[in-house]
Amino acid sequence: MNKQRKPDILCIGAQKAGTSWLHVTLARREDIWVPPFKEMHFFDHKFVAECRRWAPWHVRQGVQSARERYLAQTEAPEDDYLEYLERLQSAPILNSIWYQYVFSRARADQKCLDVTPEYSCIPEVGIDFFKRFLPDSKLIYIIRNPLGRLKSQIRMNAHRREKLPSSRKDWEALLAMSALQTRGDYLTHVPGWDARFTQDRLLYLPFGHIKKDPIATLRKIESHCDLPPFAYPQAEAKVHQTDPLELPDWVVARLEEMAAPQEAFLIERFGRDFYQAT
């Protein structure tokens, strides 16, 4: 057990842009080690006040779910693995010692993966720390069409509430959630990552390519992360698809207003061909 391991590959975003698909798909590789649950929240907990309010809860929920799955699938549970899970939810958590301990069970011949979409939202001081803390890691940033991403996120947020929205007030509350805009605020966040990481370290991928040609997308990821080719069973399977929910016309219009400056930025930054593939 190496208690000073750090992730070799990180997918930093965006939320509702295929990050769960990437996590599940790469986890099928023997040469990649993934944590017991998705989204470690180490960097956003450190640099985003909003995330500090709920990240510890997310970690404990993730550990609990991982423990339940392990016990349900294992006839002879290993005490050391149960102790490892217990440490992941025991104070102190979400500091650098804890973060490195997360990856401590990986073998020397495995690359460690952290998929946490909120990382894309950390401020520039956080990106500076990120680069110092992980001087050699490879990054992946999946870019989804801003309007499609907003629609998916507001549907997800609606389904997470006790009751689905039934009034204008309910929809206004969902539209007012700060995370709705910050999680896909490419205009603010992409320049900060661009300024600190060159293309040999940071790979931008259009979300639409996952559906159009998942294997070709994975080949780009393999090349970027120095991984040998792999067969990827079930690469075309959808992961965590948002439940359908009809959006009122006025809500869609509001989302279109939010998306417009993001769309203009993406076309300017990546070109129209890349944008059309998002």
Q: What is the pLDDT of residue 242?
A: 85
Q: How far is CA 7 from the centre of its chain?
A: 14
Give 9's strand partners.
113, 138
The domains of the chain are located at 9-276
Distance separating alpha carbons of residues 57 and 119, to the nearest angstrom: 17
- Show the tokens assigned to 107: 């073998």
Q: For residue 261, how far is the Cα from the chain centroid?
A: 23
| Ordered alpha helix ranges (H), 160-248 | 168-175, 178-182, 186-194, 208-212, 214-225
pLDDT of residue 239: 86
Are the beta carbons of 68 and 16 closer than 8 angstroms?
no
Q: Which two tokens stand for residue 202?
A: 């940071």
What's this model's pTM, rounded to 2 decimal places?
0.96
How far is residue 100 from each of residues 5, 46, 123, measured CA to CA in Å? 5, 15, 22
Options 3.40.50.720, 3.40.50.300, 3.20.20.80, 2.40.50.100; CATH of 9-276: 3.40.50.300
| Rounded distance between C-alpha atoms, residue 179 and residue 121, angstroms | 10
Low-confidence ranges of the chain (pLDDT < 50): none
Nearest in space to 44 (alpha carbons), one of 107, 113, 114:
114
Strands in the chain per DSSP E: 9-13, 32-33, 111-115, 138-143, 202-206
Q: What is the pLDDT of residue 113?
A: 98
How big is the CA angle at 211 (ends 178 and 147), to the nearest 5 degrees?
30
Task: Give the model's pLDDT for residue 88.
Answer: 97
**Amino acid type, 244:** P
* The pLDDT of residue 2: 73
